[in-house]
Amino acid sequence: MELSGGEIVVRALQDEGVELVFGYPGGAVLHIYDALFNQDKVRHILVRHEQGAAHAADGYARATGKCGVCLVTSGPGATNAVTGIATAYMDSIPMVILTGQVPTPVIGSDAFQEVDTVGITRPCVKHNFLVKDVRDLATVIRKAFYIATSGRPGPVVVDIPKDVTDPKVKIPYEYPRTLQMRSYNPVEKGHPGQIRRAVDALLAAKRPMVYTGGGVVLGEASAPLTELVRQIGFPITSTLMGLGAYPMSDRQFLGMLGMHGTYEANMAMHECDTLIAIGARFDDRVTGKIEQFCPHAKIIHLDVDPSSISKNVRVDIPIVGQVANVLEEMRRLIQDAGRTPDQAALADWWRQIEAWRGRRCLDYDRNSPRIKPQFAVETLYKVTNGELYLVSDVGQHQMFAAQFYPFDKPRRWINSGGLGTMGFGLPAAIGVQLAHPDATVACISGDASILMCIQELATCKQFALPIKVVLLNNGYMGMVRQWQEMFYEGRYSHSYVDALPDFVKLAESFGHVGMRVERPEDLEGAMREAFAMRDRLVFLDVIVDPTENVYPMIEAGKGHHEMYLSPERELA
C-alpha cells in the first residue's frame, strides 16, 4: 500500500486505535485534513481555539487513560496550543500533539506562519520530533504514542512540515508494531529489597501516614492502593490530583492535604513518624516550607519516575517502578508474612486524628442569606448522587469542589493542578463528554475562568454535548481577591471583574439553556431541573457570596501545622 504523508498520518492514527482528534485547520495541515475527509474511522472534533483542542484532548485522556490527540496548524496554531501542552506536561497526561510546519526548504527563513515549534515546546513536553522525511513519519508517530503513554506519561509533539504531507509523493506504508529505543526503557517492577525495606518500615510505624498523588490514578493503581490501605488500617490523604484514587467517603481518608487541605490531614502529615508517598511529587502546594515538612518521619517514596525521587524532599527508602505493581507486591508480602502493624500504637494514633477531626475545619455559615460556594458544591453532590464526571477550572471554586465533592472513583475529578490553567474547564469537559457520551458531565467554573475559553460553547452546540456548566459567580478573580485581602491589606488591585456579561443571555445566544440562581432556597430545584435536561447544555449562573474565602489555608512558606482556619485568621 502506497500512501502520501497526509494519508500516513491518518492511517497511523487508525492503527493506534485513535477514536477522536481535536483540532483546528490551517494552511500547513490541509493535506492531513484532506486525508481525514476521505475516511470515517477517526472522528475529528472542530474546536474554536487551539488551546481548546489541547485541553479537550487532555480531558479525554484524563477521563479514559487513553492518549489524547490534537491537530493544529503552524505558527499561531502551535503557539495557541502551548498552554494546553504545558498543562498536560505538569500533570503527566498522555497526549500526542500533531503540529503543522512550513515546508522544509523555507524552515528558518521566517516564512509565513513559521515558529520554531520544537524549540518553543521543548521545556513543556516529554519529547518532541521534527519530521523532515516522509519515510520517517510512521515510525515517528509510533514512537510518539509509545513515549506519551509509557513510564511517567506526558505530551509529545510531532512537528510536520507541509511538504512531508504532499499528496503527490507516495511511499509504501508499514506501521511498526514493535519498537526498540535504546535510550528509553521505563522501569516496570520495583526493586524487591527496597520493597521489603518499605514493608518493614510501615509495619514498625507508630504514627504512619499514606500520601498519594496523581500517579495512582495515571498508573491505574486505585484497586491495589485501596486493598493495601484497608489491609493495614492506616490513615490516608491525597493531593488535589489524586482525589478519587481512594474512596473519599471512607473513614480512613482524612481529606486533601496541602495549602487548602484539611486540618486533620495536614496535622497528621506533620506529626507522623513514617510516611509513604505514592505517585506524588512533593510539590510546593503540598509540602509548604520544606524544612518543616514531616519533620519526624522516615519517608518512603514510590514513583515510576526516578527523577522525582529526592528532587524536592530527601527520602529514606526510594522505590522506582509502576505503582500498581509495587503496591500489589507490598500487599502480598504483608499477607504472606502474616504480619500486622502495632495495633495499640495505631489505635492511639487514630484517637489523635479523631481529635483533630473534631475541629471541623470545613464548617461554614449555613444560615447565610447569600449562596455560599460550599453550599453550592454540597448541593451539586446531593443532586448528582456523587456520580458526576466533574471538570473544574482554576480558582476558589476548584478548591471548594475538592473539599466538598467527595469522589469515590478515580478519573471522575478532572482539573489542572500543576499549571493551574484558567480556561481549562469547558474544553476539558468537551473531551470528557465525548469520551463518555452517556455519562453526566459538569464543568464547575468561576466568572473569570469561564471567559477564557467561552467560545467552546459553540463546539458544544455543534456536537450536541449536554454538559452542565455550574458557574460560581462572585464578580471577582476569587483566589486573587483572597490573597489581596489576606496579604495586601485589602488592596483589590484589578481583581474585580467590572464588566461581566449576562451569562444566561450569552448561553442562550450559543443555542443553550441559561439559568440564574440567587437564593439558597432556589438552588437545589434549579440544579435538579438542569440535570433533568439530559440532551441540553445548561449554563447555571449561581450568584455566590463574593466575600467567602477558602479555608483552611497555609500561607506560602509556612509548615503544615501553621494553618488559618477561619475568616478571623484563627491559627491552628
Whether residue 99 contacts residue 70, with contact meaning beta carbons closer than 8 Å, is answered with no
Cα distance between residue 369 and residue 521, in whole Å = 9
Whether residue 469 contacts residue 445, with contact meaning beta carbons closer than 8 Å, is answered with yes
User: Which residues carry out catalysis?
Assistant: 50, 112-113, 162, 479
Give 75-98 as a DSSP string: THHHHHHHHHHHHHHHTT--EEEE
In 3D space, the residue among 550, 423, 555 whose CA is nearest the CA of residue 53 turns out to be 423
Spell out where 350-498 has E strands. 389-392, 413-414, 441-446, 468-473
Q: Rounded to the nearest 10 degrees, what angle do helices 323-337 and 192-204 cross at?
A: 60
Spell out where 10-126 has E strands. 20-23, 43-46, 68-72, 95-101
User: How many helices and strands, by DSSP H and E, does the chain display?
Assistant: 20, 22
Strand order in the sheet with 208-212: 253-256, 236-238, 208-212, 274-278, 298-303, 317-320
Cα distance between residue 32 and residue 45, in whole Å = 14
Contacts of 154 (CB under 8 A, 6+ apart): 88, 89, 92, 93, 94, 95, 125, 126, 127, 147, 148
Burial class (CB in 10 A: 0-12, 13-18, 19+), 448: buried
Any alpha helices (H) in 91-159, and if so which ranges?
117-121, 137-149
Q: Is 383 left (phi over 0), alpha (psi -120 to 50) or beta?
A: alpha
Q: How many C-beta atoms surround the C-beta of residue 490 within 10 A?
A: 9
Whether residue 302 contacts residue 331, with contact meaning beta carbons closer than 8 Å, is answered with no
Whether residue 331 contacts residue 221, with contact meaning beta carbons closer than 8 Å, is answered with no
Contacts of 119 (CB under 8 A, 6+ apart): none
* Type of residue at 365: D
Degrees (nearest 5) of the Cα angle 56, 58, 62? 120
Cα distance between residue 346 and residue 352, in whole Å = 10
